[in-house]
Amino acid sequence: MADRPYTLLSCGMSIDGYLDSAGAARLRLSNAADFERVDAERARCDAILVGAATVRNDNPRLLIRSALRRAEREARGLPPSPVKVTLTRRGDLPATAAFFTTGSADKLVYCPARAAERIRARLGAAATVVDTGPGDDVDVAAIAEDLSARGVDRLMVEGGGTVLTQFLTAALADELHLVVAPLFVGDSRAPRLAGDGPFPWNAERRAPLAGVRQIGDVVLLRYALSERFCAEAGGV
């Protein structure tokens, strides 16, 4: 198997397993102290990946907030914030999204061959569009291999659920940071942490719990999902 980056999945969910509300406004699941922890985790990564729906719905900047962490990265010869990565079939991504307009690091958009030219025309110089070949879907394993070839050694996947599901079912995750927020969404139209699929972690093979930490009113669960799991590297 080709090299792939060490891959950390990171997300927050409600007690009833939702990543967001069903409404248009983004649901705030975490708290200030946990956002600070996530900022530190992001700063340790070479690239951050989110699905196209997250780019559209949340309009995230995906930048390192802390000036100190940005300066530390630059002192190591890195861009102040990690490379941003997304994947799409439809390519319905506005070049004006904060994903594209903020930060100096590369922005990579992975898409199937049949959509690549259209998406390139739409995004122009805002991003590098990477054609992943035939078929309707992008294979997340191909993304991981391509990112590795581009020098990405540590990848953070922040969701949403569609993307997290694919990294989990393809056994491409080395660890999971799951924050549980003290609230219920109670609306099955809302996006869930994970969809259907053959997860490597199930009733016969339980995921090793590597750490638990209370952060104010949320709890962080850290799971070790591969033999590459590095206990020292995380903050739990």
Ligand X SMILES: NC(=O)c1ccc[n+]([C@@H]2O[C@H](COP(=O)([O-])OP(=O)(O)OC[C@H]3O[C@@H](n4cnc5c(N)ncnc54)[C@H](OP(=O)(O)O)[C@@H]3O)[C@@H](O)[C@H]2O)c1
Sheet containing 6-13: which strands, arranged edge to edge?
Answer: 128-131, 107-111, 83-87, 47-49, 154-157, 6-13, 175-180, 218-224, 209-215
Minimum CB–partner distance for residue 97 and ligand X (Å): 12
Check binding of 20 to ligand X (CB under 6 A). Answer: yes
Check binding of 108 to ligand X (CB under 6 A). Answer: no
Check binding of 26 to ligand X (CB under 6 A). Answer: yes
Nearer to ligand X, 160 or 234 (CB): 160
Tokens 């969910």 found at = 13
Check binding of 50 to ligand X (CB under 6 A). Answer: yes
Q: What is the distance between the alpha carbons of residues 83 and 108, in angstroms, rounded to a whole number?
A: 8
- Do 106 and 116 form a contact (C-beta atoms < 8 A)? no
Q: What is the distance between the alpha carbons of residues 187 and 20, in angstroms, rounded to a whole number?
A: 10
Q: What is the distance between the alpha carbons of residues 28 and 9, in angstroms, rounded to a whole number?
A: 18
Nearer to ligand X, 71 or 199 (CB): 199
Minimum CB–partner distance for residue 145 and ligand X (Å): 14
Check binding of 45 to ligand X (CB under 6 A). Answer: no
Minimum CB–partner distance for residue 48 and ligand X (Å): 11
Check binding of 42 to ligand X (CB under 6 A). Answer: no
Q: How many CB atoms lie within 10 A of CB 8?
A: 26
Q: What is the distance between the alpha carbons of residues 47 and 42, in angstroms, rounded to a whole number?
A: 8
Check binding of 109 to ligand X (CB under 6 A). Answer: no
Check binding of 160 to ligand X (CB under 6 A). Answer: yes
Q: What residues line the site for ligand X (CB under 6 A)?
A: 11-12, 19-20, 26, 29, 50-54, 57-58, 87-90, 92, 137-138, 158-163, 166, 191
